[in-house]
Chains A and B, each alone.
Chain A
Amino acid sequence: MERPVTLNINGRSHTVQVEPRALLVHVLRDTLNLTGTHVGCDTSQCGACTVLVDGQAVKSCTTLAVQAEGTRITTIEGLARGDTLHPLQMAFWEKHGLQCGFCTPGMILTAVDFLAQNPDPTDDEIRHAIEGNLCRCTGYQNIVAAIKSAAATLRAGNAGAAA
């Protein structure tokens, strides 16, 4: 039985009619047309569907939309500030952290959560952090470089803000 659910996505409130069994990823893509969130494996493995729920990276294919009511959801569409890309988006561009781009939204959103917890990670820590995000093109090397570069940019930005 469908019911109204209000979701706060990228700072905007959306009320949608959903069944309790509707997965968050399907509501994002099919109901709200936010197709930057991808479905890769559909079995909670690949991380392409990763979004932020209250700042935490979450697999939206393993979350019911009804469970997300009252939370703040951020998808890849909500990361840039107007025309200014998020430092992670810039770094993936500059370091060639993508080829086909399918895994990129999930990679970036996982990295947002990770860098909030660990602002100055080693390469090894970055590799562990993206354990739940599969990339079939790059061999991960440039993704690690991109996250490391973004970490430096974010640290510099925070230092600037604190000064």
Chain B
Amino acid sequence: MIPTSFDYVRAGSVREALGLLALGDGTKVIAGGHSLLPMMRFRLVQAPKLVDISRLEELRGVQEYKKGLRIGATTTYAELARHPLVRERCPVIAEVAADIADIQVRNRGTIGGSLAHADPASDMPAVMMALDAEFQLRSKKGGRRTARAREFFKGAFVTDMTEEELFTDILVPGMGRNAAVYVSFDSAASGYALAGVCASIGRKRATISDISVAVTGVAEVVFLAGALERMKDTKCDAAVLAAAAKEAVAGLEIAGDVHAPSSYRRHIAEVAIIRAVERAYQRAGA
């Protein structure tokens, strides 16, 4: 199918894009279009106008930010996967980007577009939550605003953003002593995660001094698994980890579908949590 008819404007500046969004007429932002266009083709989304931000240089690229990274919203997965600064400072982002979908999608799909789209099975929201990243948003009336990743995702395809806001940058803090690993089990058909887990762990010798674990694909929205905090001050004991992983998904309402029943999703979520924590623990000690 083809989308319903719409008008198209290629923004010449961020200011122009913000001005169009401020009209409040349902205008949508397009960059790579790999979330938006499929939905428009299925006519799940209709928009009177698209504003194309993909050629705005100021929204693209990766820079040093304090000890971490500033990532422009329209940076593609392909760019992230091979960016030397990303690989050095925060390898988990490059690793996850390199494994998303396929070459063609990575060439077009942008990190900011995916985060703003907030698919409950996409990988990067879990990474951003585990790393405690911040998102910078701009609007004509409200100016600039920073939203913490951990408070940004409100539901399936629902975020803290208003329709007038533009997602401009991602701020990833320095990893410090922490190391992060992402583990996912993907649907063979769609490639999306049935369960995906990012664990970020800091160690003092053999003891865990800091741990954050975020889970995607399983519930209605990506979430931080608080139960894993009990791993702090332990030496990553297997029995404690197994119990914490079980508890992390125990109370969740998990919908089953044609790809996997609820009980299987719960099981692989536990396995993904255990593997991500174990590997992050190993990596932090390396």
Query: Which A residues are within 8 Å of any B CB, using their own CB?
Result: 1, 19-23, 26, 42-44, 47, 50, 53, 56-59, 62-64, 66-67, 69, 110, 113-114, 117, 129, 131-133
Contact = CB atoms under 8 A, between A and B. Distances in A.
A19 B5 contact: yes
A62 B6 contact: no
B103 A62 contact: no
B4 A21 contact: yes
Q: Mostly helix, strand, loop or mixed at chain A's interface?
A: mixed
Contacts of B7: 1, 20
A110 B106 CA distance: 12
Contact of A62 (B4, B8, B33, B54): B33
Nearest to A70: B55
A1 B7 CA distance: 7
Nearest to A59: B104
Contacts of B37: 44, 62-64
Interface in B1-60: 1-8, 10, 30, 33-34, 37-38, 40-41, 50, 52, 54
A113 B102 CA distance: 12
Contact of B8 (A56, A59, A66, A133): A66
Contacts of B104: 47, 50, 57-59, 110, 132
Contacts, number: 76
Nearest to A66: B8
A57 B103 contact: yes
A117 B79 CA distance: 12
B34 A56 contact: no
B78 interface: yes
Nearest to A49: B104
B61 to A, nearest CB: 16
A58 B108 contact: yes
Contacts of A21: 2-6, 40
Contacts of B107: 53, 56-58, 113
Contact of B103 (A20, A26, A43, A129): A129
